[in-house]
Structure 1
């Protein structure tokens, strides 16, 4: 039997909420099975809420309040937890934040920006500044803190989830930061690759027509749930769970991955670009004649 882990209620709003839930459940002499009985949720789901790893749905919070006779405490608090978990992120991204922590594999295609899980703080800051020029500095920093927290997935002891990303080569050649900070951004990616935390392929700029040319995509796979696909525009996101569409995205991603450079060649290309920035010169740009 696995050892019972203590919950640090001071760490975050979700963990405080989860610690109170465990306390009230044990005070009532109930097991996890006993508390979820009569609801539409399982033991694992409730356990993850207690550990601050998952958001409490409204209907489950109402069920818990009835069983534990807590006068609506958990119903009132579940929205606070939801807002705390998505701090720094748009509301439409909430489902992905939940799903990433349960995924066994995350596969992503990012043609226009380095994806959030790989971004450094300066890269995030530049993107936020370009889009939200009138935003207060403290608001921007809150967004950055929320995004950096996502990347803690790569700091866990267990190598879960496996993260496989395909990046367009233009991202290596698009200096949205000063050279030294662009070098740091690319060094950050190579460090994650060399630590075995991410698998990265580069799609060459001259690869020609390829799958998923019309947008980005994130595919999430789970052991206990059907796979999901997430796509995002400038001000909206869309989660796809229809099995037929997910299968189509799966095939498109596999075709894209086949068109990209092998892992070792991709790593060499990232390191070469980083070295160019570090030496104070831009990596070779795409010449107009190349695009003619």
Structure 2
């Protein structure tokens, strides 16, 4: 039976320990911020797990709280490979027993091939260094290792038809990407549904969303926009996202129909049609 809380990430455990040590030292957030030379708001973000201190700030935390390097040492294990707005979601993704993915314009990151991911990430800024791009692609592909287990997490994949039609990376890249998704669906690794253009407006037309369920904790929802993301664990908000997903799913093509459509569009890309 699920509890009323989602699993805590390591970042959140770090923040909770910081709060406990601060209170034990009889310091307010304002007083601690004076020692660290930062704003009280930043201390609040540290304690909530929304942000991590840099190494210099962690050392000043240890000095102020007399914790003998504890927070600086722990920090080394918490540095995320991902952007701050996604770091906690990425950690929870690994703990989930079920994932419900929706792609509105792009293939969800967990399902991307390396070439597709490279094409997406290379457009994120006006210029980039090759080594930075390589690192980001590797990080994205490594996330997908949670799918190596053939049974867990259970994965539902709902895609707007726009995801299939948008030619990211060129014909061959798209053909390879869609073939990968179709192969996973045919092998039973994911449940696949497509929202055809003919449906018109649908309940998820405004945003991508990922729904995560856990064996012993409450579910969460994650939505993402340009340079920002929102991890929701408020039960009312999560329930609203789940309802929107169910509504959109009810408008989608069946698993078998979706599989046929994805393979057909992959062939169109392969043959240079459209």
Q: What interval of TM-score do these two structures reach, taking the shorter chain for normalisation?
A: 0.7 to 0.9
- The 1:62–1:207 alpha-carbon spacing in structure 2 relative to 1, beyond 3 Å, is closer
Which of 243, 252, 259 in structure 2 is aligned with 1:260? Answer: 252
TM-score, scaled to structure 1: 0.70
Which of 1, 7, 14 in structure 2 is aligned with 1:57? Answer: 14
Alignment correspondent of 2:36: none
Alignment correspondent of 1:30: none
Contact 1:229 1:241 in 2 (8 A): yes
* Cα distance in 1, alignment partners of residues 214 and 111 from structure 2: 21
Alignment correspondent of 1:167: 159
SS of 1:134 mapped into structure 2: coil
Alignment correspondent of 1:242: 234
Cα deviation digits, residues 88-127 of structure 1 (max 9, x gap): x211111111111111111121111111001111111111
- Listed as ranges, the gaps of 5+ residues in structure 2 are 1-6, 22-66
* Cα distance in 2, alignment partners of residues 188 and 57 from structure 1: 38
Contact 1:55 1:81 in 2 (8 A): no
Offset at residue 73 of structure 1 (A):
5.3
* Cα distance in 2, alignment partners of residues 241 and 62 from structure 1: 21
Offset at residue 201 of structure 1 (A):
0.6
Contact 1:55 1:78 in 2 (8 A): no
Offset at residue 260 of structure 1 (A):
0.5
Alignment correspondent of 1:281: 272
- Listed as ranges, the gaps of 5+ residues in structure 1 are 1-43, 65-70, 286-292
Matches within 5 A, 1:81-96: 81-83=77-79, 86-87=80-81, 89-96=82-89
* Cα distance in 1, alignment partners of residues 13 and 141 from structure 2: 23
User: Which protein has greater RCO, CA pairs closer than 8 Å, 6+ apart?
Assistant: 2
Q: Is 1:149 the equivalent of 2:145?
A: no
* Cα distance in 1, alignment partners of residues 246 and 15 from structure 2: 38
Matches within 5 A, 1:1-292: 57-60=14-17, 72=68, 74-83=70-79, 86-87=80-81, 89-156=82-149, 159-278=151-270, 280-282=271-273, 285=274
Offset at residue 59 of structure 1 (A):
4.4
> Across the two proteins, how many residue pairs are aligned to each other?
225
* Cα distance in 1, alignment partners of residues 71 and 19 from structure 2: 6
Give runs of ≥4 in structure 1 deviating > 3 Å. 58-64, 71-74
Q: What root-mean-square deviation, in Å, do the aligned CA atoms of Structure 1 and Structure 2 show?
A: 2.5
Offset at residue 194 of structure 1 (A):
2.3
Alignment correspondent of 1:8: none
